[in-house]
Structure formats: structure tokens, C-alpha cells
Structure 1
């Protein structure tokens, strides 16, 4: 494609080093889609005749079929998917095929191909996230009245509804949904017509190709169009935080399902055994979720480091943007494929969870707040209850085994209205502040969650408006 300028052919070792077919041959369908839109635009402005346009469209359709059937194999000498397809078109159509690249550079061609590809993959991730949110809502509804320990510093802190726990993860993943929508929006401009970097002297109709390909508008600056990969960074940012949220959930499950905790029950189908120890039930899937998070974070850093020192506009470094992108897309798809059915099969042992809270010390804050309700300053109440816990430990007692006489001795302020509060269920029910763990508040969160999922579906559905 550049032989007119050069006196030597490209060295074989350079061809091997610079080719990107291992990264972009899978994008052939999207390249052809962009080329058809470009050809139709050229026809609409008179740069292709009706007959030339017909032949080009037929040729591109034939090439697409050849690629699907495996009869057309790419040549490394032609570097990438784009040049392989164009070369085959010229082979089929002669000079007519050579007209397709009129008013176009590989720079804007690659960009539109990547945006079409990434838009489809992000929409697929949207459906996976929607399924993830739906199963969390289901778990929240099923387990709303099961009481489990809530933790800070991995130490028992206060009793919570298990439904509240599920909705905590729902809330985190709902923010990921918003980040994914932002990534979709950031790629939702059509680069075709930006050319190599400065546009074209030909009468290109950029709005025409944008509409055909389902973009609401063309990109607004040709230099930025060629140089920027913000839309990829936005996906990587989503993916990194999504993976972090998955990793934290996995860490919880590994801990809560261990024998030392034991109140979260993992399905056998999502665990493995030991090659040596017959009793083992290992949470390998969860551990791999944690492990792959580092890879996704690494791909974000990889892209940012690549971009940070590049001068405007195009530099060949940008060819490498696809490697980490495709790897992270694959990993996110795999996470969603395994996480949704795993969550659907997880069970909670409410009796075991209650047994873990049998000393009642999780109610210490409730006792302190009872004293506050009687007019005692909180810091004084905090100190009094801390001393009470210390005395219980010295006597080898706990909040549930202290007699009424002992309560009267250790906490003279405790009236008849105090003793009904010494209940895990009461502690949960009374935390009725907005967003709290009371059963009513969790039910409200679940109701709002269903509305969020419906709105999320409606928002991402508008991004696929192709007219080809």
C-alpha cells in the first residue's frame, strides 16, 4: 500500500513484528460493516456510481462469507484485517475495489471498527450485568429475614439482615452499570471522515455514515479522533472496578464458607476437591475471581502508560491497545458467566449464623444507644458499655446469659423497656434509618433495585441503532 514511496520491500522480520492479525482478524465483520457504510456515503455524494457501489457491496458481502467459511485466510504481508479485506476486494473487482478507500485512512477506519466491536461487546456485558443484578435481588428477597453477623475489621460488629448484605453488593454493581453506560456513551461517535488526521478535501457526508452505523453524531475534532483512546480507558475503568467488586464478594464468600464461619453454603458444582486430602471442598472459582482481578487492573494501567507520552496524532504504539482490551473483555464475560449461576445456588444457614452471635455482644451499640435515649452523652454511654463487656468477659458471661439481677447491678439505668431490646431480631428491626438493615428498609431497597434494573435495561437498549 505504500510501495510508491519505497525502494525496498519490507523485511520479513518487520512484517512479523508489525502485523496485528492475531489481534484484529476477529474484527473482520465490523471492518466490513464500516466499509459498507463508507461506500454508501461515497455513493450518496457522487464519488461512486450506483453500479460501483453495487459491486463493492456485493464484493464485501462475498468476502464476509469467505471469512465465515474459512476459505479466505489472511496474509501476514498485508499486516492487518483492514488491508487484507481491501486487497481481496481489489482482487475481486479491480479498479472499482480500489475506490473504496477514497476519503478514508486506516486511522479512522480502525477507529470505527473498534467502536463498532466494543459497542457490541459492552451491550453483551450489559445483559450479563442485568442478570447479575436480578439474581442479587432474588437472593435479597429470599434471605431478607435471615440474620447474620455484620463485620468491620473482620470482627463481628452488628447483626444485619442477609438481604441487606446482598443489596450492598447490588448497590456496588449498580454503580458499575452507570460506569458501563458512561463507557458506551463515550464511544458513541462516528470517526469516519476524520481521515489520517485532518479530514478530507472531498465532499464527505459524515452525518450520513454516523446515522447508518447507529451513532448519534460524528466525532468533532479530527486530530482528537485519531489520537484518543479515552473510550477504551473508560471501559477498562469500568472493568477494573467491576472486577474489584467481584473480588471483594469472592473474598467474603471464601471466609464465610470456611469451617471457622460456616454459615454460607457454596454449591458443590462450583467447588473442587483436593488431590490428596479427601475431606477438602475448595472455593477455587472464587479464588480465581480474585486472581483475575489483577489482570484486569493491569490492562487498565497498560493502556494508560501507553497513552501518557504519545504526541498527536497517530502513533503505532496504539496498535497494542487491542491486546489488553480483548483480554479484559474475555475475562469480564467469563466472570459474569460463572458468577450468576454460582450466586443462584448459594444458600445461607441461618441457625449457624445465629449461633455465631450467641454471646450477644453485637448488641453493645444498642445498649449504648438505649442509654443515650435516657439522656446520657454518647461518649459516656460508650465507656459504660465497654466496661460492661469487660466485666462480662471477666465473669465468663455474655449479654444473653446475664440474669436480670446482674443487669440491674451492672447497668442500673436498665428499665423494663430495656430487656425486649436484647434480641438480634429487634436490633435489626430497629435500624430503620434510610438505607439501614431493618427488614422494611431492605424491602424498600429491593423495590428500588427492581426499578433500577428496568431503567438500566432501557438505557442500554438505545445504543444499538444500526440502519445497515
Structure 2
């Protein structure tokens, strides 16, 4: 018997089903169901024979799902109901006992928490690989100078290693955010039931231990309505995508004819449909283009959750597509970033030529005057005047500065001094870059 006298309208059925996207949760749903069945038997809620039948049936269901022979039906509303339906077809009555002491509400949020934890762990591992690539490339180009930029204008020279290590520290903060996702999803929701708990003496901590959770949720209402960890994952993905977009933009600039600092491998480049000479940095451009897609998913899930009354509402079905697509998008972007960097060729002469522009030593000349006793603001004005004179006369900065400031200015204008003078902790002098590299290596092993 059913509560309803009419079948669902086809339009509502199409709107209501989530099987098309939540199929990917099946490994977590099967694992959760195994743990739940073991707990039910351990607590005497079902018999051991029923448990064994359920576990055997879940093995068969898993094989079908894994090899693509699972017989989905049009009326399977979601992966959870499909698994239970197929289990009952295989083992009969014991399959109908699996849902004892759980609801789809706590079942769904548990699967999602397991997916989130798995995604965060994979992200951490993948970002660790990217960090190692950044370290390898930095070490291979330890003392290669290039201009550092502000406002996309040449500002002060740095070593390429120092510049790339900036991305290492960005990615390190990303790893910390994904670790926070693991902390936020560490409590098992299963056992909350529909919203109020269940009418059986279950052992939630037994299930938590088997599934890799460190504890259980304290409040059943909060457990089934909580999507905070999904928002946390989307935030971590969004910030990571932002970092990758900045790297992508620099690759686009550096590989252009105007910069000429870098050449991408053909494996990470595309051609033109009409211009045979073109070698386009499309992978880097897509690092830029895909970042807003990830941010949009985060904003969309905030929109889904905002103002929802407790506890479960069907709106929450809209959490998964945002989460799934954001995870997939960032995974391919991280792989692309690592692939591009590890196979790229950097052009030392082009970078060094750009870094040898004497104008970017202006602050070093101002600091020279400060060391001689001139207040910095006054020194800044003196050097600004000399820069203006050089620009207006078409001369180099040295040509106008050395006659006025003397041999000390000539020494400052030796290119290596611009870099090696930056000895403050975290600066670009090689002694500091080597300290960074040692610190970074200790983090990733």
C-alpha cells in the first residue's frame, strides 16, 4: 500500500529524481550500509543470519555497480533507494531489514560527509604533488633573476625560485583549508534518523569507527540539516581555484612574445583553427576561466541553505551537483598546473634582460641615501627626480644618478646587488630563498 492514490506526474518525477548525479555516492552508500548492518546485528536488532545475508547481498550489489551491470530502473529515485531495492531483489526479506534504525535523511548526509572527507583527502594528496613540483622547479632555477611586478609594471627584481615559492605558500594554506574540512566532517550523522533519533538502542560509535569518523553528532536535528562541511569544502575549493587562476594568468603573460620568459610543452598547448603559427596557452587560460565556476557553486549552495527551516527540506538535494562539479573542476585544474610547470621551459636570458632594467633599482638607490643619513621621504624625492631626468633625457638611471651620488650608486646598480641586498627574513636574497626551500621541503617530505 502507498500513502498516495496517484502516481507522480512525469515532470515532478524528473524534477525529484537525483539518480543521474548521486550515483557516484554508491561506494559510500555500500560501505555505510555494511557498517550499519554489522551494528544492527551486534546490538541484537537483527539476527546474524540476516546480517550475513545483507553483507553477501551488498557484495553482489557492489560488484554490479563496479562493473557497470547494476540494473537501474526508471523509478529508482536515488542511489540509496536503488541499492536497497536491488539488495532486496537479491537476498529477499533480509534486505528489507537494512533500513531499520535509519532514515534516508541521516543516510544521505552520511554519504555526503564520506564523499566530502574523501574529496578533501584526495585534494590534500594532489596539492602535495603540486607543492613538490613547485619545489623542484624552484630548485632547478634557484638563482635565475626576473622582474617582480606591481600593477603589472616592473617593480623590483626577484629570483624565479622566490617567485614560484610564493605559490608554494599559497598552496600550503590551501592544504590547511582542506584539513579543516576533514575536521568539520569528522562526526558521524548516521543514527539521527529522520530528525529526532531512532527507537532502537544503536551503537553509533561502532559505526563511526568502522567508517573513519572520530565521533558522532551531538544533536539529531543539527545532524540531518547540517551542510556546513559542504560549504567548507566549497570554500577551500574556491580559494584554491583562485590561486590557480593567478598562476594561470602569469603563465599566459610569461609565454607571450611580449614577455618571452617561458615556453609551455606542446602537451599543454593548443593551436589555432586558422593561424598555423599559433601556440596558445589554453590550459593556463582555463585555470583562469574555471575559477569563477567554482566560486559560483559556493554561492549557489549558500543560496540553497539560507533561510531553510530545520530540519530536512528537499532543497538540500541541490547540494550535490554543486559539490561534485566543483571537486571535479579543481582536481583537473591542479593536475594541469602541475603538468604545465613540471614540463615548461624557462628562458633565463629573457628574464635576466628584463630584470636588468636599472629603473627597478630605484628603491635601492633611495635606501643607499637612507644609510648615508638622509630621511627616507627626502631620499625618495631625490631618486624620483633622478628617474624623471632619466626618462625625459632618454638616459639610463645610472647615467644621471652616478654623477650625483658617486661610486656607491654605481656599486648599487650592479644587478646582483639588487637581489642579494634583500636579506630580511622572507626576502629574495639566496640565503633566504635557501631557508625557504629547506622549510618547504620539511613540510612535504
Q: TM-score of the superposition, structure 1-length normalised?
A: 0.92
Q: Give the Cα–Cα distance (whole angstroms) in 2 for the partners of residues 129 and 165 of structure 1.
A: 18
Q: Which moved more, 1:199-208 or 1:267-276?
A: 267-276
Report whether the alignment pairs 1:259 with 2:253: no
Identify the residue that residue 362 of structure 1 maps to in structure 2. 360
- 3-state DSSP class of the match of 1:303? helix
Unpaired segments ≥5 residues, structure 1: 455-468
CA 1:408–1:103 in structure 2 vs 1: closer, same or farther (change >3 Å)? closer
CA 1:408–1:334 in structure 2 vs 1: closer, same or farther (change >3 Å)? closer
Report whether the alignment pairs 1:439 with 2:439: no
Root-mean-square deviation (CA, aligned residues, Å) is 1.5
Report whether the alignment pairs 1:42 with 2:40: yes
Q: CA deviation at 1:408?
A: 5.3
Higher relative contact order (CA 8 A, sep 6+): 1
Contact 2:402/2:410 (8 A) holds in 1: no
Give every structure 1 segment of 4 or more consecutive aligned residues whose post-TM-superposition deviation is greater than 3 Å: 406-409
Identify the residue that residue 4 of structure 2 maps to in structure 1. 6
Q: CA deviation at 1:231?
A: 0.7
Select which of 423, 437, 445 maps to 2:414.
Answer: 423
Contact 1:104/1:196 (8 A) holds in 2: yes
- 3-state DSSP class of the match of 2:31? helix
Contact 2:204/2:216 (8 A) holds in 1: yes
Identify the residue that residue 379 of structure 1 maps to in structure 2. 377
Report whether the alignment pairs 1:410 with 2:404: yes
Identify the residue that residue 343 of structure 2 maps to in structure 1. 345
Q: Give the Cα–Cα distance (whole angstroms) in 2 for the partners of residues 94 and 282 of structure 1.
A: 59
Q: Which moved more, 1:137-146 or 1:69-78?
A: 69-78
Identify the residue that residue 176 of structure 1 maps to in structure 2. 174
Select which of 227, 234, 237 maps to 1:236.
Answer: 234
Contact 2:304/2:315 (8 A) holds in 1: yes
Identify the residue that residue 58 of structure 1 maps to in structure 2. 56
Q: Give the Cα–Cα distance (whole angstroms) in 1 for the partners of residues 282 and 234 of structure 2.
A: 25
Identify the residue that residue 205 of structure 2 maps to in structure 1. 207
Contact 2:148/2:158 (8 A) holds in 1: yes
Q: Give the Cα–Cα distance (whole angstroms) in 1 for the partners of residues 221 and 444 of structure 2.
A: 38
Q: Give the Cα–Cα distance (whole angstroms) in 1 for the partners of residues 268 and 99 of structure 2.
A: 51
Q: CA deviation at 1:358?
A: 4.0
Unpaired segments ≥5 residues, structure 2: none
Identify the residue that residue 395 of structure 1 maps to in structure 2. 393
Q: How many residues align?
A: 445
Contact 2:187/2:215 (8 A) holds in 1: yes
- 3-state DSSP class of the match of 2:52? helix
1:125-168 Cα offsets, whole Å, 9 max, x none, are 22210110000011111112000000000000001011110001
Q: Give the Cα–Cα distance (whole angstroms) in 1 for the partners of residues 339 and 357 of structure 2.
A: 35
Contact 2:269/2:282 (8 A) holds in 1: yes
Identify the residue that residue 280 of structure 1 maps to in structure 2. 278
